[in-house]
Amino acid sequence: MSVDAVVVGSGPNGLVAAVKLAEAGRRVLLLEAADAFGGGLRSAELTLPGLVHDVGATVMAMALASPALRDLKLKGVEYAHPPLPAAHPLDDRPAVLVHRDAGRTAAGLGRDAAAWRATAGAAARAGFPLVDLLLRPLGPWPAGLARPSALVAAARFGAAAALPATTLGRLAFRTVEGRAVLAGMAAHSLLDLRAPITSGYGLMLAATAHLVGWPVVKGGSQRLADALVARLRELGGEAVTGHRVRRLAELDAETVVLDVSPRQFLGMADLPPAYRDRLARFRHGPGVFKLDWALDGPVPWRDPAVAGAGTLHLGGTMEEIALSEAETAAGRHSPRPYVLLVQPYAADPTRGGHTLWAYCHVPNGSTVDMTAPIEAQIERYAPGFRERVLARHAMGPAELEAANPNLVGGDIGGGLASLGQFLKRPVWSPAPWRTPLRGVFLCSASTPPGPGVHGVGGWQAARLALR
Ligand SMILES: Cc1cc2nc3c(=O)[nH]c(=O)nc-3n(C[C@H](O)[C@H](O)[C@H](O)COP(=O)(O)OP(=O)(O)OC[C@H]3O[C@@H](n4cnc5c(N)ncnc54)[C@H](O)[C@@H]3O)c2cc1C
């Protein structure tokens, strides 16, 4: 068919871009390299027949908070909340429990109750206007932030967010529990926790647990991708899998939106030298080593209070987690890595059984098998875990990148999340989704606001394309 717009790549950003363009009446063709749509939203039978595993994202906090997705009423997408968004087990004391309710979470932190209320709690109270500001840093100023009280809340958040997580941990928190839970949240950034703005990532994530929860898509994340493809088709768009685009010259459309990494874009077209050089300087972050398991029952956590948590942060105290992340940032493998673990069955019993995944951070492009260190960290808090394993599936950086070329060297963040690359993503510009090529836009996680299932990059690229 002759089309107005081609979208390359069907991750959440590509899907949102395609739907927004089609809603505006454009004839859209979506091309996906893999044999299934979704990118980071794919689900598959990775271990045993009949078991649904999310290959990438499971926790949909960003989707629920996102101004690009939260108002889309998608058929067939049901969110299921675990009893607890997150938990952080510790060796010799009860686990820290992150509840939907900020006050209840704070109460569990004892002497750090006030610190939690003043940081994560305050960010949650600032609500969607603050989320909109952070997810659309270059968009219009959110109307809800016009009130002086909201401005003060945003400024307070900014002051704390700018700090390294280890600094905020030491300045604002006094207990092992308070510092550990902050570090566990901040380590989602894949950064050395001594780096600026790592507090911001941690507080923002914690705030979403209170604001919208950390749900999963019932039946697997693939359903969200499939629903977006269905919406595109309803609007007259076409979507094709198994089609990898290598050169822009292959495409014939007025508008091209690319859900691809800057590295791929460099190989797709002859770009003006100044832009090409700036793009070539874009840096990728560490990779991950991910394990998926089929279990014969729930994980035997030593502290039963964490059984209902959708997400667990394993790695102990703030000091231990900071050490693990510093090792990764220095290009080494931590023998006791920070492990991010998701147990979807806590929220969703419809996935065919007890599926579980966890990853740890590794140097970009690492070829080291981290199965033993990851499982040792789980055994530390759940003795007897290994006996529950029916089957396991491992993906290191090479396998992740083979499944999705955007995961360069296993970097699931679409590029280092440093302060520099928060501002230059992938280049410094008031509209970084625009490229020097007429009608060509970038929308992947390598553009603002960065990684996560929020679709904001796609929304921004579509908005510019429609102007
Ligand atoms: C293991 C893992 C766990 C994660 N967990 C979470 C989580 O729980 N919550 C959360 O919010 N986020 C999570 N994320 C991050 C989230 O999945 C990503 O940030 C998000 O999917 C990025 O969306 P995107 O649209 O930019 O690109 P992707 O989702 O990476 O999709 C890009 C798509 O484009 C296709 N493509 C690339 N190049 C071409 C080409 N040349 N031609 C055609 N097609 C192409 C790829 O095949 C892929 O399908 C996780 C990621 C991973 C890998």
In the chain, what percentage of residues exceed pLDDT 90? Answer: 90
In sign, the C-alpha dihedral spanning 438, 442, 447, 453 is positive
Residues 28 and 22: beta-carbon distance below 8 Å: yes
The model's confidence at residue 137, banded by pLDDT at 50, 70 and 90, is: low
Q: What is the arithmetic mean of pLDDT over 147-161?
A: 85
Specify the amino acid at residue 27. Answer: R
pLDDT digits (tens, 9 = 90+) for 34-80: 999 999 999 999 999 999 999 999 999 999 999 899 878 788 899 99
Report the alpha-carbon distance of residue 409 to residue 258 in Å, rounded: 20
Cβ atoms < 10 Å from Cβ of 140:
7
Q: How far is the CA of 225 from the centre of ligand 1 (A)?
A: 11
Q: Which structural domains are found in the chain, ordered by start?
A: 5-40+62-78+217-282+413-466 (3.50.50.60), 112-211 (no CATH)
Q: What are phi and psi of 34, to 5 degrees?
A: -75, 175
Local structure of 217: helix, strand or coil:
strand
Q: How far is the CA of 354 from the centre of ligand 1 (A)?
A: 24
Report the alpha-carbon distance of residue 161 to residue 175 in Å, rounded: 20
The model's confidence at residue 151, banded by pLDDT at 50, 70 and 90, is: confident
Residue 148: per-residue pLDDT: 78
Residue 296: per-residue pLDDT: 97
Q: What is the arithmetic mean of pLDDT over 429-457?
A: 96
- Smallest CA-to-CA distance from 2 within 233, 235, 236, 231 is with 236
Nearest residue (CA) to ligand 1, atom 6: 57
pLDDT digits (tens, 9 = 90+) for 261-286: 999 999 999 999 999 999 999 999 99
Q: Reply yes or no on whether the pLDDT at 138 is more than 70.
A: no
The model's confidence at residue 213, banded by pLDDT at 50, 70 and 90, is: very high
Q: Reply yes or no on whether the pLDDT at 131 is more than 90.
A: no
Residue 129: per-residue pLDDT: 86
Ligand 1 atom nearest the C-alpha of 451 is 19
- Smallest CA-to-CA distance from 342 within 91, 59, 47 is with 59
Q: Assess whether the C-beta atom of 447 lies below 6 angstroms from ligand 1.
A: no
The strand ranges marked E within 13-52 are 28-31, 43-44
The model's confidence at residue 120, banded by pLDDT at 50, 70 and 90, is: very high
Structure tokens at 362: 């590794």
Q: How far is the CA of 359 from the centre of ligand 1 (A)?
A: 16
Ligand 1 atom nearest the C-alpha of 444 is 26
In sign, the C-alpha dihedral spanning 290, 375, 88, 305 is positive
Structure tokens at 152: 């003060």
- Smallest CA-to-CA distance from 399 within 325, 288, 262, 295 is with 288
Nearest residue (CA) to ligand 1, atom 41: 245
Q: Reply yes or no on whether the pLDDT at 139 is more than 90.
A: no
Q: How far is the CA of 11 from the centre of ligand 1 (A)?
A: 5
Q: What is the arithmetic mean of pLDDT over 393-414?
A: 98
Mean pLDDT for the chain?
96
pLDDT digits (tens, 9 = 90+) for 238-269: 999 999 999 999 999 999 999 999 999 999 99
Ligand 1 atom nearest the C-alpha of 395 is 1
387 versus 131: the higher-pLDDT residue is 387
DSSP for 130-178, written as a single string = HHHHHH-TTSPPPGGG-SHHHHHHHHHHHHHHTS-HHHHHHHH--SHHH
pLDDT digits (tens, 9 = 90+) for 186-210: 999 999 999 999 999 999 999 999 9
Q: Assess whether the C-beta atom of 290 lies below 6 angstroms from ligand 1.
A: yes
The model's confidence at residue 150, banded by pLDDT at 50, 70 and 90, is: confident
Q: Reply yes or no on whether the pLDDT at 424 is more than 70.
A: yes
pLDDT digits (tens, 9 = 90+) for 350-401: 999 999 999 999 999 999 999 999 999 999 999 999 999 999 999 999 999 9
In the chain, what percentage of residues exceed pLDDT 70? Answer: 98
Q: Assess whether the C-beta atom of 9 lies below 6 angstroms from ligand 1.
A: yes
Q: In what order do the strands lie in the sheet with 84-88?
A: 96-98, 84-88, 309-314, 339-342, 354-362, 287-295, 389-395
pLDDT digits (tens, 9 = 90+) for 290-301: 999 999 999 999
In sign, the C-alpha dihedral spanning 196, 202, 205, 206 is negative
Q: Reply yes or no on whether the pLDDT at 114 is more than 90.
A: yes
Residues 221 and 43: beta-carbon distance below 8 Å: yes
290: β partners: 359, 395
The model's confidence at residue 426, banded by pLDDT at 50, 70 and 90, is: very high
Location of structure tokens 């981290």: 370
